[in-house]
Structure 1
Amino acid sequence: MPGSRLSEQDRIEIAAGLRAGIGYAAIARQLDRPTSTISREVNRNGGPGRYRPEQAHRASRQRSRRQANPDRTQLPGDNRDDCPALPAIGRLTSLFVDTGMPHTASGVLAFLMTAEDGSSVAAELATTLRVSPAAISAAVGYLQAQELISKKRDEPRRRDRYIIDETAWVRATIAGARQNAAIARAARTGAAEVGATTAAGERLAGMADFLDHVARDITASAQRWATLLR
């Protein structure tokens, strides 16, 4: 039932669907759930190739017990050992940094990826990552520009909530492809300006051809993946 927690039987059916090669959207329709619920459930518990329904259900029950006793649970920033996602956050942060992403933005992205509902507010991010609110502001601005996260205003509490959903990587990948295409256009213009038959012109033209080809392939692949989420 939409809005209720996944049952162990739901998780068994998710595993069966994954083994059969069914997409997240189709599994979600079978269970009458949002596609985002299925994608988060699978990605939170090892991904399509390593999803185990019994382990996933056990982990969910443990999270429920912690949420049912909030007086005994500290914020991750107060006692980082109480946050089971911290090892994953650390690994993902390091890998994102290796790609050239700023460190705090990497931490924010890793935190949102491992958050139960894929969202958080600036105060929680600053506490967990142990950085200043200004650093969080810069980080979320960077991630929004990359189309990796979105922002929703929580009017009653007068604060912004930052969200990552199952289409984030599709949007970010297509945005990256657009950037490659823009570089290709600039390179092609540069080749004409320096002379197409010069060594520099040939180098620029070759770069333009490659980036155009990659941008088209990446965009097509991302769009095919997006159809699995519908």
Structure 2
Amino acid sequence: MPGGRLTQQDRQRIAAGLTDGLSYAEIARRLDRSTSTISREIARNGGPRDYQPQQAHGATLQRARRGPPAPPRAARVPGGTVEEEIIELAVRSGLPRMTARVHVDLLLSEHGRRTAAELTRRLTVSPASVSVAVNFLVQQGYVRRERDPQRRRDIYVVDDDAWYHSIVISSRQTLESAQAAMAAAETLGLDTPVGQRLAKVGTFLERVTEDVTESADRWRALLA
């Protein structure tokens, strides 16, 4: 993975990429950097609309003279840390808390990848808890599993394309529910109140799923 600090020329190329409407991933590819590096650089220096390369470079030099910035886990926002806020949002959306903690820790990691041992140590939980959480995330497409043949261990990865796969998997599950509802409607009879209700639900879920899948396919290039 490419490393090193961004130069002033790098920042000028970032600004040019934003002006041209390039995605963060494409800018990162052209600079041979990680997408997370580009995302952090832009976010801490005004965002995509107000990013100015000279000011960004000067601010970075000032931060370097003051010492290293606080890690993401200590970044304060109203009500708690950034990490805690994202976890709470995930829990409110229906994700189990342990699973949310694992997912967020992966999301906020430098390169979006950790081993099971690293997750266990960082979250101070049992290996079994991490295993259950990771298996769920893999099944839902939020995380993928890589094998490290040299150390014979699994590495869990959150990459940009994970969001596409999670939507596709969710849509597939919703489509299965739609098909089950329509099958039940035919069994019970389309001329019965229950059959008509299930047929409407099945048709609605089927049409919505088709729209979501088509939209995900259409905009997938943004993650490239």
Kept in 1, the 8 Å contact 2:72–2:108? The answer is no
Gap runs ≥5 in structure 2: 75-80
Gap runs ≥5 in structure 1: 67-81
Matched, 1:21 2:38: no
Kept in 1, the 8 Å contact 2:99–2:133? The answer is yes
Aligned counterparts of 1:102 and 1:119: Cα–Cα separation in 2 = 20
Indicate the RMSD between aligned Cα atoms, in angstroms.
2.9
Kept in 1, the 8 Å contact 2:24–2:39? The answer is no
Q: Deviations over 1:56-91 (max 9, x none)?
A: x839x76xx76xxxxxxxxxxxxxxx7433522211
Residue correspondences, number: 207
Q: 1:212 to 1:156 in 2, by over 3 A?
A: same
Aligned counterparts of 2:71 and 2:118: Cα–Cα separation in 1 = 13
Kept in 2, the 8 Å contact 1:39–1:166? The answer is no
Match of 1:210 in 2: 204
Match of 1:7 in 2: 6
Match of 2:60 in 1: 58
Within the candidate set 113, 121, 127, 2:115 is matched to: 121
Aligned counterparts of 1:186 and 1:148: Cα–Cα separation in 2 = 25
Aligned counterparts of 1:229 and 1:166: Cα–Cα separation in 2 = 6
Match of 1:84 in 2: 72
TM superposition shift of 1:19 = 4.2
Match of 1:77 in 2: none
Instruction: Give the TM-score of the pair, scaled to structure 1.
Output: 0.77
Dislocated runs of 4+, deviation >6 Å = none
TM superposition shift of 1:170 = 0.4
Q: 1:119 to 1:183 in 2, by over 3 A?
A: same
Q: Deviations over 1:166-185 (max 9, x none)?
A: 00000000111111111110
Aligned counterparts of 1:224 and 1:58: Cα–Cα separation in 2 = 37
Higher relative contact order (CA 8 A, sep 6+): 1
Aligned counterparts of 1:142 and 1:218: Cα–Cα separation in 2 = 22
Q: Deviations over 1:6-47 (max 9, x none)?
A: 52432343244234422345434543x36xx23663168549
Q: Deviations over 1:181-229 (max 9, x none)?
A: 1111000001111111222112111111111111111111111221223
Matched, 1:146 2:143: no
